[in-house]
Structure 1
Amino acid sequence: MSTLDHIGVQVADFDASVAFYERALAPLGIALVMRIPEEAGVKGAGFGAGKPDFWISEGGRTTPHLHVAFAARRRADVDAFYAAAMAAGGIDNGAPGIRAHYHPNYYGAFVLDPDGHNIEACCHAAE
């Protein structure tokens, strides 16, 4: 069992970030699971595959920026993530490909989200 339950990232433009992550994470089977009601006093949205484990909340740009890597089952899912993230306004930070300096089967792609966070999808399987 993983010890990580969830992670939260502050964003400057909440609505733009929700739209970005909805599109970018869909190829990985990750969807918008819930929003925190506005009467709770914070704008927040949780993404996941059934359970929200990646959260964004309005609060402004953070420095330093964060790196978050999402697991993909297949290399094709990494490719689809990259294409979707770029179409959603992401900035290229490393096209899909082998990153042999991590290990021979490490296949990843990197994009910067609207706040400059380095968002990755990676696959460890040999395909």
Structure 2
Amino acid sequence: MEIQSCVKIISEWDIVAARQMGRDIAKQLGFGTVDQARIATAISEMARNIYLYAQKGSICIEQIHTVDRVGIKVSSIDEGPGITDIRRAMEDGFSSSGGLGAGLPGVRRLMDEFNIDSEVGKGTEIVTIKWLRK
């Protein structure tokens, strides 16, 4: 059974909903509690970025398969202002909102694969994958 779900991020409660949905799907796929927490934390960071910077967007979570692996793919999509300097945004400690600056670099560390595409004035898409360890 393929699992794919999206949560629109408009309010702070949507961040909680996306995080819980990610944890639930990860559990269904067989991820252990530590990886469930990593996935939920990454989702929370991406959803918070949508809420803070773009005001609206979506977190989409889906089960993925290769010949020998199962994973969870989490995508964050918004039509916000975009990121002017991705390299700087990926530096530990950088924050444009006065926070700790752990967001995007933290997401990259929590997940196995990380890709970001952003265009100023058009929005940002972040795609991450966590593979199930055997």
TM-score by length of 1: 0.38
More strand by share: 1
